[in-house]
């Protein structure tokens, strides 16, 4: 059992990460940053406050107070991340009813103009054909697909070419026609050709835990497709860490992956990478480049 698996199950789960969640390196570099108010409010219940004279604090000047955190960089694998690791409950507070009424209203309060932008974000991605092209060499139609965190299935590759389309999702939205919401019991009874994990790993506190869960749904021939943003700051990153450590704010994406960090993460979880690509994908997400990875269970 690799180190990351052992530690992700035990000592590594601290409120403030002391090890890289991709490669488990503990020699990390940090710089101060802010947790954006929408995130601190919705996940932690910490709204910004104005400290004035009525607080009676003799040693602290008056002014706005926000939730502080750190930008944390792993020099070993190039991973950049928020040091605060949210609990399951905090992630649920943040993502339940994702982009629905309460979420949108609170976000509009802190980030005026969000509501309008949300309308384009929920429009669906426009590069599914390129995802299908990337995966085609490894699959034979018709395909049995499980989309892990796949929302309604509207962005699932091969959605019109699957003999079976299962969605594992906590938000309980009505899936698209032909797709079915399933629980872990049903997953364990089904054999899949393709498991999709798209735009999930940038949001979770312990990506290795999620990948180990997904692994349970796979057989030796199953392809796992992972998609995460290749954030602009990571595209321009270099070895001196200067740019990475200048990141001063954190929002929903708490994990910024480098290619090396992704490779180390999936290898540590027991997968072999069979293809990796950086795709320029101006889709519904507010990033222009994505990483695409196809994996199989390690032999
Ligand atoms: Zn690392």
Q: What DSSP state is assigned to residue 16?
A: B
pLDDT at residue 123 in the model = 62
User: Ligand 1 is a single-atom ion; what residues have CB below 5 A from it?
Assistant: 20, 22-23, 25, 74, 76-77, 79
Mean pLDDT, contiguous 10-residue spans, the chain (299 residues): 42 86 96 98 97 96 97 95 96 89 95 87 78 97 95 93 91 88 96 97 97 97 97 83 88 97 97 96 67 97
Å from CA of 205 to ligand 1 middle: 14
pLDDT at residue 82 in the model = 98
- pLDDT tens-digit readout, 146-171: 999 998 999 999 998 889 999 998 77
- pLDDT tens-digit readout, 11-61: 468 899 999 999 999 999 999 999 999 999 999 999 999 999 999 999 999
Å from CA of 38 to ligand 1 middle: 28
In three-state form (DSSP H/G/I as H, E/B as E, the rest C), the secondary structure along 141-209 is: CCEEEEEECCCCCCCCCCCCCEEEEEEECCCCCCCCCCEEECCHHHHHCCCCCEEEEECCCCCCCCHHH
Give the CA distances from residue 279 to residues 178, 220, 290, in Å, rounded to whole numbers and listed in that order.
28, 27, 5
pLDDT at residue 171 in the model = 74
Å from CA of 262 to ligand 1 middle: 9
Å from CA of 211 to ligand 1 middle: 16
**pTM, full prediction:** 0.91
pLDDT at residue 34 in the model = 97
The CA-based angle 109-113-118, given to 5 degrees, is 100
Å from CA of 254 to ligand 1 middle: 14
pLDDT at residue 206 in the model = 96
Domains annotated for the chain, with CATH where assigned, are: 3-120 (no CATH), 125-231+258-297 (3.40.50.150)
């Amino acid at each position: 059992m690799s180190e990351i698996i052992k530690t992700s199950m035990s000592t590594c789960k601290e409120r403030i990460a002391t090890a890289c969640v991709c490669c488990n390196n503990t020699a990390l570099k940090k710089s101060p940053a802010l947790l954006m108010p929408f995130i601190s409010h919705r996940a932690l219940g910490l709204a910004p406050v104005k400290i004035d004279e009525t607080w009676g604090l003799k040693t602290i000047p008056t002014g706005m107070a926000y939730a502080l955190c750190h930008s944390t960089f792993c020099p070993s694998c190039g991973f950049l991340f928020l040091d605060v690791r949210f609990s399951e409950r905090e992630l649920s507070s943040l993502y339940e009813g994702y982009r629905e009424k309460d979420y949108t209203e609170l976000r509009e309060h802190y980030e005026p103009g969000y509501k309008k932008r949300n309308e384009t974000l929920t429009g669906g991605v426009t590069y599914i054909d390129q995802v299908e092209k990337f995966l085609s060499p490894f699959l034979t139609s018709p395909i049995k697909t499980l989309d892990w965190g796949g929302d309604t299935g509207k962005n699932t590759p091969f959605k019109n070419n699957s003999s079976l389309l299962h969605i594992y999702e906590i938000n309980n939205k009505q899936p698209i026609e032909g797709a079915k919401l399933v629980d872990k019991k049903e997953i364990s009874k089904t054999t899949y050709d393709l498991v999709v994990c798209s735009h999930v790993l940038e949001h979770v506190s312990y990506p290795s835990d999620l990948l180990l869960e997904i692994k349970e749904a796979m057989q030796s021939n199953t392809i796992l497709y992972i998609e995460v943003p290749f954030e602009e700051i990571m595209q321009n990153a270099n070895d001196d860490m200067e740019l990475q450590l200048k990141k001063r704010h954190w929002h929903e994406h708490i994990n910024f992956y480098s290619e090396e960090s992704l490779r180390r993460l999936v290898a540590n979880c027991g997968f072999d990478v069979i293809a990796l690509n950086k795709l320029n994908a101006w889709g519904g997400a507010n990033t222009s480049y994505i990483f695409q990875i196809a994996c199989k269970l390690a032999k």
